[in-house]
Structure 1
Amino acid sequence: METMTDHYEFQLRASTWAASIAAAVAALGLAGCVNYAGIKSDKQIAPPSNYETKESLPAEGGQWPAMDWADQFGDPQLSTLIDEALAGNPTIDQARARIEKAYSYVGTANSALYPNVTGSYSWTRERYSANSIVPPPFGGTWQSENNVLASASWDLDLWGKNRERLRQAISQEKVANAEAEEVRISLAASVASTYNHLAQLYALRDIQVREVKNREGIVQITHGRVGAGLDTNVEQQTANGETATSRSSVSALDGQITTVRYQLGALLGKGPDRGLTIAQPSPADVAEFALPDNLPADLISRRPDIVAAYWQVDAAVHDVKEAKAEFYPDVNLSAAVGLVAFGWGRFLTAGSRQIQAGPAVHLPIFDAGALRAQLKGRYADFDYDVATYNQTLINALSDVATQVTQIRSDDRQLVDARQALDAQTKAYQLALVRYKAGLNQQLQVLNADDNRLAAETAVVSLEMGRRDEQIGLIKALGGGFNAAREGLAANTETPIPAPSVDAATH
């Protein structure tokens, strides 16, 4: 199906016939006129092959994230929340508004390729002076003047200035579309990450609730030991204090849970009460991951921020070409036809006709350096956009590598952390049995319980942290975005060349 952008690009190709007239205008002496000699740039966007990634990002035969990547976390509520956020969040509406504004610029630039036709009518009632330039019988009398005029003008665009402006607007529209995809992916990842944080808080709360029961059990044991004369009131009050501390931890987590629920409500584009209606998360274990093959090269079409940076460079190229076209003669054709007469009697007669037509040629000869300064500014913008693209690519590769490293580090830590939890749990159980039997002091039991609690908390934090890092990796890999599918694929396989002084202007 032909898109509006395809339509405009077709119009661009169809309009290039006007360039054939350029040879006739080239006869105008350009020697001594303003020129852009010496103004150029040698900057180029860097291909992914410029950066070494074989060790940090090896090919593992994995798949790129799909649009429904949230389903892999095994919690249907998460996918529902992401869909709700994408449907109603004001940041999405802002992105759509930016696309519409960019599209309006495309329409404005496209209109400059065609003749401009206007019509006007005026009626004026005026008393002419008897002692001025108006001769009798009109001097000294009141007259009505009718004037109807149809006029047309057409900028031939021999050097492609208007066509480059249209191409620049089309590229900016693609920038807006890519940026909108970046907003969508960032919002979905933020919802998933915040939801995962909510799941982590609930898991930590469950640990603390169990800890309260453990501490209450120690209180009962201590009470029996005090009655038997094995412990004193010091141990009794210590056990009571530890129990109260655990209850306080539960209350603190309840407050954090409510706060995160409010954050989710805001991410959904709703009020804080919406967050209170979200059910407790029930995430499943996260599966192993594998990096896709050809990652560095394919990443430039999978990350919307890189795609946006590419089209920004492309827009800058057309900006430069447009600025160069300003140095050449500008030819405009204009014509007008109409009727003008005093009164109504002769208004519609042949004698009231007025006709005018002719070309207008504008040639910059001396402008005190204004055009050269403008071109230098466009090249500066181009250099900046190239540097931004290169930095965006570097950051993207580093982002993926960092997430992968953190996931693998957490996987290794989890092995040891789970072994530590198993050992600390057994140590606590043995200490508790010995405390009941009067073989250990209370302090040993409390220390063992603290160690077990710390180990269990570490395991949960690592598990939830790994899930959060996997969400980060999905975002770093583009979150299911595909430039070709969205009509935003680059129009060349190689980096955009820097326009030089010898580059064509159209």
Structure 2
Amino acid sequence: MSRTAPQSRRALPAIALLVSALLLAGCASTRGLAPEGRPTDADTLAASRSFGEYKLSDAAFPKQDWWTALGDPQLDALIREALQGTPTLAAADARLRQAQAQAGLADAARKPTLGASAQYTGVQAPETLVPPPIGGDLQASTVLMLDFKWSPDLWGGHRAQYEAAVGQARAAEVDAQAARLALSSNIARAYVSLSQAYAALDVAKNEERRSSRLSGLSQQRVDAGLDNDLQLRQAESAIASAQQQAQAAQQQIDALRNALAAMLGKGPDRGLDIAPPKLLAAPAPAVPDVLPSELLGHRADVVAARWRVEAASRGIDASKAAFKPSVNLNALVGLASSGLSDLFGGDALLGFGGPAISLPIFDGGRLRSTLAKSDADYDLAVADYNQTLVMALREVTDALQAARSLDAQIAAANRARDASKSALQVADARYRAGLGTQLDVLSVQRPLLQLEQQLTALQAQRYAATVDLDRALGGGLALNAPPSARTASQ
């Protein structure tokens, strides 16, 4: 009988044990566990009728410096200053580095490792416990080791964990870009509000001057016995009201200056250096003539949400791979001896290693619970993505419709102001011809000032609609979208 026969017989129990373990591995099953969420196909979200006639070419997507279209160099300088670095951007960048480091850890976990160690150990037993020659003698040993470890990725679980971490890192990268867009648009909106506050202050001061002239004229007529105190008291009330409006406008100016300084990452004194805005233009609203999937693919929040769906999907793959057997390779090679002189001799060689197979059998439901959590994480990411799609399309539509409505309102307000100007010219001509009084002139002037105040508010809202539309269209960001971002149903 050959020498291998006894060895084969000794290996039979081990093989039988392995086969039994493989059969029992079915106890840890993924049966009945699956995600329920389905990403919405963006092109199924109809919006063409809501967009109306505002459909142009791809050139309608905003540029990265979209705020320059408002025509105020001071606004350009403020946004450039903010983008150089603020606490908000620093936090977004730190989160990005954190996610990238996590992806690096996941990548390192799937690669072989090799470590080296050196150890010197000395033991001396007391003669009171161990008689000589061992007792009282120092027993020393020196060990040099190389430790190799590797777990081959047989089922793709390690790679899935790495790709999930990469997806999260890419989502954080998009979030960092979105933080810059949010900062620039918030500065632009605050700047528009500051422009409106200054315009309201000018209107209030004009109203105060008009009311003061009316009060002086009313006082003269009362002194001459031509009128009673009614018109005089009305004029005094108008002066106080105008002063209150001027104070409210100044308070808003101060608050907006402080807000802008904070967004720049500076102290409130920085806001005192901001001059009154001089916005020149509000471009006509336009959206690209493309499908919603491409339209929303320019938005940072949509792309980031899609990356998180991809990451959650790979997390499911990693959880499923944990149900299958795994192989670990481990090897220790080194030198060991009781003295340094013998350490590098042939007899000092030390070795240990080999493959180890492990597989789940009974784990108390841990693996199924982990997979169920991964499925829920995916469903949550899908729900967030679907909601982000809907809200993104709503923001585009709201901004577009607001701009269209405000253009019509501004046109109507301009016609009303022109009519009020004509009425003022008629009243002034009658006064100069001796057919009317100065009271008639001042009374006609009041609606004109109110219309000018209304017009400045509408123009500020129109500037804000421009900012909102540029932001809703993605702000000109160059985004790294996942391959399936435009076909979410896949």
Fold agreement, TM-score > 0.5: yes
Once the two structures are superposed, what CA deviation does each residue of 1:355-411 show, in whole Å capped at 9, x if it has no partner?
Answer: 111111111011121101110110011111111101100000111111111111111
Query: Which of 372, 375, 387 lines up with 1:376 in the alignment?
Result: 372
Distance 1:301 1:418 in 2: 38
CA 1:476–1:235 in 2, change beyond 3 Å: closer, same or farther? same
Give the gaps of 5 or more residues in structure 2. Answer: 1-17
Amino acid at match of 1:105: Q
The residue number in structure 2 matching 1:329 is 325
Shift of 1:422: 2.6
RMSD between superposed Cα atoms in Å: 2.6
The residue number in structure 1 matching 2:107 is 110
Does the 8 Å CA contact 1:301/1:489 hold for their aligned counterparts? no
Aligned pairs for 1:263-412 (under 5 A) are 263-412=259-408
Does the 8 Å CA contact 2:38/2:489 hold for their aligned counterparts? yes
Shift of 1:234: 4.3
Residue 39 in 1 paired to residue 33 in 2? Answer: yes
Query: Which of 83, 86, 91 lines up with 2:80 in the alignment?
Result: 83
Distance 2:431 2:220 in 1: 11
Residue 494 in 1 paired to residue 484 in 2? Answer: no
Does the 8 Å CA contact 1:40/1:379 hold for their aligned counterparts? yes
Amino acid at match of 2:155: W
- TM-score relative to the length of structure 2: 0.89
Aligned pairs for 1:130-209 (under 5 A) are 137-209=133-205
The residue number in structure 1 matching 2:456 is 460
Shift of 1:34: 1.1
The worse-fitting range, judged by mean Cα deviation, of 102-111 and 244-253 is 244-253
Amino acid at match of 2:111: Y
The worse-fitting range, judged by mean Cα deviation, of 213-222 and 200-209 is 213-222
Does the 8 Å CA contact 2:296/2:393 hold for their aligned counterparts? no
CA 1:135–1:359 in 2, change beyond 3 Å: closer, same or farther? farther
Distance 2:126 2:360 in 1: 44
Amino acid at match of 1:144: A
CA 1:393–1:167 in 2, change beyond 3 Å: closer, same or farther? same
The residue number in structure 2 matching 1:257 is 253
Distance 1:195 1:481 in 2: 22
Give the gaps of 5 or more residues in structure 1. Answer: 1-24, 498-506
Distance 1:226 1:433 in 2: 25
Shift of 1:255: 2.1
CA 1:158–1:172 in 2, change beyond 3 Å: closer, same or farther? same
Distance 2:420 2:375 in 1: 65
Once the two structures are superposed, what CA deviation does each residue of 1:73-119 show, in whole Å capped at 9, x if it has no partner?
Answer: 11111111111111121111111111111111121111122211111
Query: Which of 60, 73, 76 lines up with 2:55 in the alignment?
Result: 60
Q: Secondary structure at the match of 1:147?
A: strand
Larger Rg over CA atoms? 2
Amino acid at match of 2:252: Q
Amino acid at match of 2:92: A
The residue number in structure 2 matching 1:5 is none
CA 1:278–1:441 in 2, change beyond 3 Å: closer, same or farther? closer
The worse-fitting range, judged by mean Cα deviation, of 83-92 and 241-250 is 241-250
Does the 8 Å CA contact 2:293/2:487 hold for their aligned counterparts? no
Distance 1:131 1:30 in 2: 57
Residue 49 in 1 paired to residue 46 in 2? Answer: no
Q: Secondary structure at the match of 1:88?
A: coil
Distance 1:413 1:449 in 2: 21
Amino acid at match of 1:53: A
Distance 1:218 1:438 in 2: 18
Aligned pairs for 1:12-23 (under 5 A) are none
Residue 478 in 1 paired to residue 482 in 2? Answer: no
Q: Secondary structure at the match of 1:249?
A: helix
Once the two structures are superposed, what CA deviation does each residue of 1:3-54 show, in whole Å capped at 9, x if it has no partner?
Answer: xxxxxxxxxxxxxxxxxxxxxx999734534111221134321111211111
CA 1:135–1:30 in 2, change beyond 3 Å: closer, same or farther? farther
The residue number in structure 2 matching 1:7 is none
Shift of 1:492: 6.2
| Percent identity over paired residues | 35
Does the 8 Å CA contact 1:160/1:325 hold for their aligned counterparts? yes
Residue 248 in 1 paired to residue 244 in 2? Answer: yes
Once the two structures are superposed, what CA deviation does each residue of 1:328-357 show, in whole Å capped at 9, x if it has no partner?
Answer: 111011111112222333233222221111
Does the 8 Å CA contact 2:333/2:352 hold for their aligned counterparts? yes
Once the two structures are superposed, what CA deviation does each residue of 1:397-438 show, in whole Å capped at 9, x if it has no partner?
Answer: 111111111111111111222222233344456567778969
CA 1:152–1:464 in 2, change beyond 3 Å: closer, same or farther? same
Q: Secondary structure at the match of 1:56?
A: helix
Query: Which of 64, 89, 93 lines up with 2:90 in the alignment?
Result: 93
Once the two structures are superposed, what CA deviation does each residue of 1:246-280 show, in whole Å capped at 9, x if it has no partner?
Answer: 23322332222111101000011111111110121
Does the 8 Å CA contact 1:306/1:392 hold for their aligned counterparts? yes
Number of aligned positions between the proteins: 468
Does the 8 Å CA contact 2:285/2:400 hold for their aligned counterparts? no
Distance 2:165 2:477 in 1: 23
Does the 8 Å CA contact 2:297/2:485 hold for their aligned counterparts? no
The residue number in structure 1 matching 2:9 is none
- TM-score relative to the length of structure 1: 0.86
Shift of 1:300: 2.9
